[in-house]
Amino acid sequence: MFPQIENLGEKKLIGMRLAMSLADNKTAELWRRFMPRRKEIKNNISNNIISMQVYEPTYFASFNPTKMSVKWATVEVHTFDNVPEGLDTFILPGGLYAVFNYIGLNTDNSIFQYIFGTWFPNSIYDLADRPHFELLGEKHKNNDENSEEEIWIPIQPRKC
């Protein structure tokens, strides 16, 4: 599986966030809270939803399932006008991303094992310190082996 390399422009996002670790994964709770509120967000750019992870710069230095990160459930908007109460804004900085088209269960982590264990070591890129996200479009179906999504991993050219 080879990714497309994309130069992403800055995005404005509105949604909810929740701190969690892999050992104490609260993703389902975050989405249960966000999805009923999604319709309150006006001026959406599309019907897509974005699942975003914000990691500390040293998060990937050594694996520890109790390390915390912040996960977001969001939609992209044109402006931050009329942000519903209780929802937050986030500006996703632009930059270079490796985009993997993934088909399968959202609970199958083998795609991330491939990205970080196989693709990165054999690529000309290093991981960049920007948020990671999954773009969940019309073909995304929760808990379905035929579900499709785009996995966006921030990259930068490898330093020699």
Task: Tell which CATH classification among 3.50.50.60, 3.20.80.10, 3.30.1490.20, 3.40.50.300 matches the domain 4-157.
Answer: 3.20.80.10
Type and span of the H or E element at 114:
helix 110-114
What value does the mean pLDDT of the chain take? 94
36-82 pLDDT, tens digit each: 999 999 999 999 999 999 999 999 888 889 999 999 999 999 999 99
What DSSP string describes 20-67?
Answer: EESTT--HHHHHHHHGGGGGG--SBSSS-EEEEEE--TTTTTS--TT-
pLDDT band at 3 (very low <50, low <70, confident <90, very high): very high
